[in-house]
Amino acid sequence: MLGFIKKILITGASDGLGFATAQLLLEKGYNVFSLSRSKPTDDRIKHIALDLTDEKSIENATRQVLELDTPITTLINCAGIMSRFDRTDEKQFSDIVNVYSTNVMGTIYLVNFLLDRIIKDEADTINVSSTAGTKGSASEPVYVSSKWAMRGYTKSLQELFKGKKSRAISFCPGGMRNKMLEKITGEQLSDPENWMPVEIIANELVNVVETPKQAEISEIIINRKS
């Protein structure tokens, strides 16, 4: 793998944590691809259209990834949404399906298609969960349970990668200054100063990407300072 520009795939790199992480990786000389519905505003980030709620979209995106000739270094599953079911009075079954499709099922389907390539390239998979996925919540059962599921899936990948060079890492940040809440309710954070800037979390995520192969981080949890 020596001599190749390191290739990073990031789901949801069109905004938020994914975009901030992509920018830092670009500065370090990585070749960054965003697998997302929207095209990133930074033209240096190559775009592959992906809708994690759409089976055919996932299959089409993975075909494009598998056509890339240089090895994959890391897949960062960063795409995720909050739940209208949790945050509004609109209690619809379709919202639960949408959250799980985006936060869990689409990611599992995506990784399944790329699994042989990941192992062949000795690539790592970083699944962005949340500190919400380490505890229960009376107010956010849909979102929280989806993040618990992602942690469980990561642990299963860790079992699968035993004896192989690939690693699976669960990355669990706490509350960040992003637009996740605004996207589902139209409301902005009332106290943004108490939430972590995405750049701080992105920097830690890049550190995980660059962990030497002789070491393995199973899970990293980043809490907001109380």
Match domain 7-222 to its CATH number in 3.30.360.10, 3.40.50.1010, 3.40.710.10, 3.40.50.720: 3.40.50.720
Please write the tens of the pLDDT for every residue from 1-14.
Answer: 444 679 999 999 99
Question: How far apart, in whole angstroms, are the C-alpha atoms of residue 4 and residue 30?
Answer: 10
Sheet with 31-36: strands ordered across: 46-49, 31-36, 7-11, 72-77, 124-128, 168-173, 219-222
pLDDT of residue 87: 66
Please write the tens of the pLDDT for every residue from 21-30.
Answer: 999 999 999 9
Contact (CB, 8 A) for 133 and 172: yes
Question: How far apart, in whole angstroms, are the C-alpha atoms of residue 80 and residue 50?
Answer: 13
| Reported pTM | 0.90
Average pLDDT value for residue range 126-138: 87
| Domain segments of the chain as ranges | 7-222
Average pLDDT value for residue range 161-171: 97
